[in-house]
Amino acid sequence: MFQLNSTITWAVAFASAAAIASALILSWLLASGWAWRLATDVPNDRSMHTKPTPRMGGWGIVPVGALAIGLAAPYLWGIAVAMLFLAIVSHVDDRRGLPARVRFAAHIIASVAVVAAYSSGLAWFWVPVFVVALAWLINLYNFMDGADGLAGGMAFFGFGGYAVAALAGPHPSIGLGWACAAIAGAAAGFLLLNFHPAKLFLGDAGSISLGFLAGAFGYWGWRHEVWPLWFPLVVFAPFIVDASVTLLRRLLRGEKFWQAHREHYYQRMVRLGVGHARTALYWYAIMLVGAVVSLSVLTSSPAIQWMSIAIWGLILFLIGAAIDVRWSRFQILTSK
Residues at the binding site for Mg(2+) are: 142, 204
CA–CA distance, 182 with 236 (Å, rounded to integer)? 18
Bridge partners, residue 41, by sequence: 53
**Does the N-terminal peptide bond of residue 43 adopt cis geometry, omega within 30 degrees of 0?**
no
Q: Which of 112, 107, 101, 106 shows the shortest CA–CA distance to 136? A: 107
CA–CA distance, 299 with 279 (Å, rounded to integer)? 32
Please name the amino acid found at residue 297. V
- 296 with 164: CB under 8 angstroms? no
Helices 203-223, 150-168: inter-axial angle, 10-degree rounding: 20
Cα end-to-end distance, the chain, whole Å: 65
Binding residues: 142, 204
Helix residue spans in 169-264 (DSSP H): 174-194, 203-223, 230-235, 237-252
